[in-house]
Amino acid sequence: MEIVEGNLIDIENREFYPCAISISKGKIINIERNNNSYDQYISPGFIDAHVHVESSMLMPAEFSKLVISNGTVGVIADPHEIANVLGVEGVELMISNGEKAPLKFFWGIPSCVPATSFDKPGAVLSVDDTDKLAKSGKFTMLSEVMNVPGVINNDPDVIGKIEIAKKYQLKIDGHAPELVGDALSSYIAHGIETDHESSTIEEAEEKISKGMYIMIREGSAAKNYDALKSLIATHTDNVMFCTDDSHADDLLNGGHINKIVRKALADGFGIFDILQIACLNPVRFYNLNIGTLHVGDDADFIILDDIESLNISGTYIRGKVVYSKNSSKDDSVCDIPLLNKFHHDEICLSDLYTDVFGDVACIQVKPDSLLTDRKILHFDKEIENFQSDLDKDILKIVYLNRYFNSKPQIGFISGIGLNRGAFASSISHDSHNIIAVGCTDKDLVLAINELIKERGGLIVNEEGKLHSLPLPIGGIISDKSGREVANRYMELNKILSKMGTLLKSPFMTLSFMALIVIPVLKIGEKGIFDFEKFDFVE
């Protein structure tokens, strides 16, 4: 038996008190109040209510090492990204690797693979696949249902998966950016209960009023904390925290759910409201097997040096110390099958030639957001082989399917800010095809072809000098340690910063430029996609 002592943070009863917690066989067997004086605090651990582990570019076991040091004891994970590349085999790979980690993973069944009928990923998850996965008992929910038109218009494939979730009593997560009014009511009526895509307080409050739980999200590229933070005080019972997508460097240097908790504390919100959202609400909503400091619970909790700084000195999961600030860092990586799908031939310069005339739709990037705006470029006369206009921050963006040989799709983008070179990635939501932005066609071709040679990764072409982060697992995940990936990723971002971009997370922003289920303009299999028309621009 082990005894852990400190000031217990009793979130439910809204009090602090000194105590000794007795632990045996991974369970809390007694909590005894005492009159001792302690410098440290004991709190339930943090929970990420919605995350794509793959976006860290790490396997679950490596992701676990980074987040448990930030006080996270459990995550609700949607393996949507690997499913788009490798299908059921990819989902099973993630679950298997997650079982080697101390972090508690609760998996969702990806609901939209492909995300829409317009996407061409490396795999498809059918209704039958969904039923087989649900039947396995390994899943907590049907993950974000992002095909909003499919739900509202009763698409048989989408509705079939929702019905399977109901059959197996799984929660159903939503994904409904800017959805309001009758359309929102119709979407919710199908049993969808959460949303992490709200961008205004009015949107979030309407969704809550209609029965949804809202997630306040602070990821590497998409953030809505500032817009929604008032919900912490006004709708404490209906809010959860999530990161959705966080790169390894942010997890290593910036934190995880603890960074949202720190923000809320700095903004003056009550400690018990904040911790209820960070620690308890996901457990209650998803009915998770995570301890919340009660006798009989798993001994899942964190040790804090103090309340003000929220410094985490230890993390316990199932009664074991899985992180201690005094312990050495483990950079060993277990063996991982390098499963992948990458079949496109290299391209040539003429594949990117683009003539422009008249009005041309251009993607306008919005910093720290998945949303984009529409920008119209006007050309009074035809320009042959237009590549960029650096003075006006207009660059060429290229989309290329990596699963089979196809024609590159060309568009234009503003808000990236490069003044030289190019960068390319095989991380592009949701199908993870090749996406690249550059100042000249020559820059772009060199970056794209290097990506094809490496069969996936991140590439920066600094005017002929190539820098890379290989991602051999599905073209989206590294086989290296979290620390190695984070450091290499930071190097690439520093180089891009020197090349002119002001974006904090340029690769993450680039990856979402292919996410056509998010407003307004994106790029996909047939060029520029208009979310409002839900079709490609002619």
In this predicted structure, which of 220-224, 443-447, 534-538 has the lowest mean pLDDT?
220-224
Domain end position, chosen among 324, 341, 362: 324
Based on DSSP, count helices (H) and strands (E) in the chain, helices before strands. Answer: 17, 26
Task: Look up residue 525 and give its amino acid.
Answer: E
Q: Within this chain, do residues 213 and 298 fall inside the same structural domain, yes or no?
A: yes
Instruction: Please tell me whether residues 315 and 365 are part of one structural domain.
Output: no
pLDDT single digits (tens) 146-200: 999 999 999 999 999 999 999 999 999 999 999 999 999 999 999 999 999 999 9
pLDDT tens per residue across span 392-432: 999 999 999 999 999 999 999 999 999 999 999 999 988 99
Question: Do residues 81 and 110 lie in contact, with contact meaning Cβ atoms separated by under 8 Å?
Answer: no
Domain membership of residue 175 (yes or no) is yes
- Please check whether residue 16 lies inside any domain of the structure: yes
Mark whether 177 and 61 lie in a shared domain: yes
Give the residue ranges of DSSP H helices in 300-419.
none
pLDDT of residue 370: 82
Domain end (from 324, 359, 375): 324
SS3 510: helix
Q: Around 216, how many Cα atoms within 13 Å sit in the side-chain half-sphere?
A: 31
- Note the Cα 483 to chain centre separation in Å: 19
Give the list of residues 6+ apart from residue 443 with CB closer than 8 angstroms, or none: 420, 421, 422, 461, 463
Residue 163, C-beta contacts closer than 8 angstroms, at least 6 positions apart: none
In this structure, the answer to whether residues 257 and 363 fall within a common structural domain is no
Give me the number of domains the chain comprises.
2
Cβ contact 360:388 at 8 Å: no
Average pLDDT for 482-487: 95
Give the model's pLDDT for residue 328: 66
**Cβ distance 302 to 316 under 8 Å?**
yes
Closest by CA to 95, choosing from 129, 55, 139, 126, is 139
Whether residue 360 sits in one domain with residue 307: no
Q: Is the pLDDT of residue 332 over 90?
A: no
Asked whether residue 397 falls in the same domain as residue 522, the answer is yes
Strands of 25-115, DSSP E: 27-33, 41-44, 46-51, 72-77, 104-109
SS3 58: coil
Residues 117 and 48 in one domain: yes
Residues 6+ positions from 432 with CB-CB distance below 8 Å: 81, 84, 85, 121, 122, 402, 426, 474, 475, 476
Six-digit token string for 228: 């929604």
Q: How far apart are CA 196 and CA 162, in angstroms?
A: 18
- Give CA–CA dist 141/265, Å, rounded: 30
Q: Is the pLDDT of residue 334 over 80?
A: no
Mean pLDDT of 521-534: 94
CA distance 123 to 84: 5
Listed residue (187, 186, 183) closest to 175, CA to CA: 187
Banded pLDDT at 326 (limits 50, 70, 90)? confident
DSSP string, 192-255: --EES---SHHHHHHHHHTT-EEEEEB-SS-B-HHHHTTHHHHSGGGEEEE-BS--HHHHHHT-
What's the rounded mean pLDDT across residues 462-488? Answer: 96
Q: What is the pLDDT of residues 254-294, one digit of tens each?
A: 999 999 999 999 999 999 999 999 999 999 999 999 999 99
Residue 338 lies in a domain: no
Instruction: Read off the tokens for 449.
Output: 């072809």
DSSP secondary structure code for residue 515 in this structure: -
Domain that holds residue 314: 2-324
Residue 57: inside a domain: yes
Structural domain includes residue 343: no
Which CATH number does the domain housing residue 303 bear? 3.20.20.140
Same domain, 110 and 230: yes
List of E strands, 337-429:
356-365, 372-383, 394-400, 409-414, 422-425
Does 232 share its domain with 363?
Answer: no
Does residue 330 lie within any of the structural domains?
no
Mean pLDDT of the chain: 95
Asked, for residue 331, whether it belongs to a domain, the answer is no
Selected residue with higher pLDDT from 222 and 473: 473
* Residue at which a domain ends, from 256, 291, 324: 324
pLDDT the model gives residue 336: 83
Cα–Cα distances in Å, from 112 out to 172, 214, 255?
A: 12, 20, 29
pLDDT of residue 436: 98
Domain identity same for 313 and 404: no
**What is the model's pLDDT at position 221?**
73
Q: How confident is the model at residue 318 (pLDDT cuts 50, 70, 90)?
A: very high
Residue 327's pLDDT band, with cuts at 50, 70 and 90, is: confident
Note whether 312 and 363 are same-domain residues.
no
Question: Which of 374, 378, 347, 372 is CA-nearest to residue 515?
Answer: 372
Look at residue 140 in the predicted model and tell me its pLDDT: 98
**Angle at 227 (CA atoms; ends 224, 231), nearest 5 degrees:** 100
Say how far apart CA 357 and CA 178 lie, in whole Å.
Answer: 32
Is there a domain that residue 449 lies in? yes
Q: Are residues 286 and 365 in the same domain?
A: no
**Whole-model pTM?**
0.93
- Mean predicted confidence (pLDDT) in 310-331: 89
Q: What pLDDT was estimated at residue 508?
A: 87
Q: In the predicted model, is pLDDT for residue 333 greater than 80? A: no
